[in-house]
Amino acid sequence: MKNLFLTAVCSTAVLLLISGVAPKAASGSLDAAPTQSVTPSVALSATPTPVPTPTVVPTPTPAPCVREMNFISEDPPEDVLIPKYYNSLLEGDVHIYAFTDASGKVARRAYGSLETVWSDGETEVVSGFFEVDEDCKVISNTPVELESETYGEAVVLGESITVKGYKRAANGVYYFKSAGGIKHYRVYASVGGVEGIYPCDKEGNVERGALAADLEQDKLLMSYQVISLFVGDAPHVMLTAPTKTTLINMNNRLEASYVPQGMVAVSKHVHRAPFTLRNNGTYANAEALECFLEMVNAAYAEKGFDTFYLCSVYRSYSTQKELWDYRVSNNPSYGTNPLVPIGSAYPGTSEHQSGFAFDIGTLKHKVLGSYLANTAEHKWLAENSWRFGFILRYQKDKEYITGIKYEPYHFRYVGKELAEYLYSENICLEEYYDAPVRWVNVE
């Protein structure tokens, strides 16, 4: 019995320990006060230990990548000077400028604007001459730095040329005649170390970077028999005091010494309307400028346009002559074909010399070209410029009436009354005066 009692007591004690209740005093006295139950706990320090915050590593935003690239090829605007060692070629619809580089290879360039669309939606547009391959595809994403071009030096070798159709001048230089009686000169030379028959002047001098003559093309030119025409020889009268409504073209010219009165510096008025001026040295007729500012402010109020880029207004006779000479140096037949409207006006025939003509691009499309007709800004100008006294001077369907190619960026100030009439009747200035351009006198 005693053993059973001890076993029961021990079992009870174990159960009490497990339940967290301390057993009675060792004396076994039933009257002793029970010992207070204590729950074990972790001792806390005076300053709580902070719980570390997990480090969150932000996911890096990927750098924008190129989503799309579009190159728009255009003929250079009038005020872009083409390097003399560039040879003008037309390959399909693309105007190519080529030259022989220092290593003797043919390098090709195209003028235009490259539009890059990034993955974040941003758009970047840069303009200038770009490197292209034989298929006229752009192979560079930045314009060429003209100062760093390496062109081939020319050395005249003096050997005789035995090609049918060439005539030999007294000084040993060979030549032949093509359309309009234009003489083309040839000489045997080396450019960039490559020997061949090269174009030259009548003295036999070969330009640096020259391309070898295309003999098949020479034969084709020899076969052309057309009347001799030149825009500079067109019948014309000289204007003495042109006004905002005066017709200026190949038949109505400005004197070389003419400088319009009443012009103002455009740079002093750029704060009055939301547009960007390319050249701070630009001048314009005062009245025309006031209406231009009114037009730009209206475009902003009505459409939110603040992207107009004013490229050119007044241009002197001497500057126009320099631009013309560069065109002809690259293409001797420039301005000799009535079926090919020109872009650069012959000196004295440019409206820019009057101070009334405004060439307008956009910040996104600074290169002046026919593609501007598709921009929202130029669609608005075409439909609304008359309200402010301007007309789209060289329209697409009037090229053989004006003698100038389609220029959706060239706006002429003629005053609000005449502008409204021309717009409503859809006629150009030549039609208004019943005087389409004439290359020769017509009885």
| 199 is a domain residue | yes
346: left (phi over 0), alpha (psi -120 to 50) or beta: beta
| Percent of all residues in the chain with a pLDDT value above 90, rounded to a whole number | 52
Quick check: 18 pLDDT over 60? no
CB 260 within 8 A of CB 355: yes
Can you point out the beta strands (E) in 62-193? 66-73, 87-91, 94-100, 106-118, 123-132, 154-156, 167-168, 174-177, 183-191
Which pLDDT score, from 0 to 100, does residue 37 have? 44
291 or 146: which leads in pLDDT: 291
For residue 289, the domain's CATH number is 3.30.1380.10
Same domain for 291 and 389, yes or no, is yes
pLDDT at residue 217 tops 70: yes
pLDDT band at 343 (very low <50, low <70, confident <90, very high): confident
28: in domain: no
Q: What is the pLDDT of the chain when averaged over all its residues?
A: 84
Q: Final residue of a domain: which of 186, 205, 223?
A: 223
Q: Are residues 126 and 189 in the same domain?
A: no
Distance from chain centroid for Cα 56: 45
213 in the same domain as 173: yes
The range of the structural domain enclosing residue 166 comes to 154-223
Domain count, the chain: 3
Last residue of a domain, one of 223, 257, 279: 223
Higher pLDDT, 107 or 73: 107
- Is residue 32 in a domain? no
Same domain, 218 and 292: no
| 314 in the same domain as 412 | yes
Same domain, 98 and 236: no
Answer whether 380's CB lies under 8 Å from 305's CB.
yes
> Does 15 score more than 70 pLDDT?
no
Which pLDDT score is estimated for 385? 98
Q: Residue 393 is inside which H or E element, if any?
A: strand 390-394
Do 254 and 357 fall within a single domain? yes
Q: In the chain, helix, strand, coil percent, each to 5?
A: 25, 25, 50
pLDDT of residue 158: 77
Residue 361 shares a structural domain with residue 309: yes
**Boundary residue ending a domain (148, 172, 195):** 148
Q: What is the pLDDT of residue 63?
A: 80
Residues 184 and 243 in one domain: no
Give domain status of residue 55, yes or no.
Answer: no
Reply yes or no on whether the pLDDT at 60 is more than 70.
yes
Do 185 and 255 belong to one domain?
Answer: no
**Residue 42 confidence (pLDDT) above 70:** no
Kindly indicate the confidence band of residue 90, based on its pLDDT and cuts at 50, 70 and 90: low
Residues 366 and 296 in one domain: yes
Q: Quick check: is 42 in a domain?
A: no
- Asked if residue 24 is part of any domain, the answer here is no
Evaluate whether residue 348 is within a structural domain. Answer: yes
The whole-number pLDDT of residue 328 equals: 84
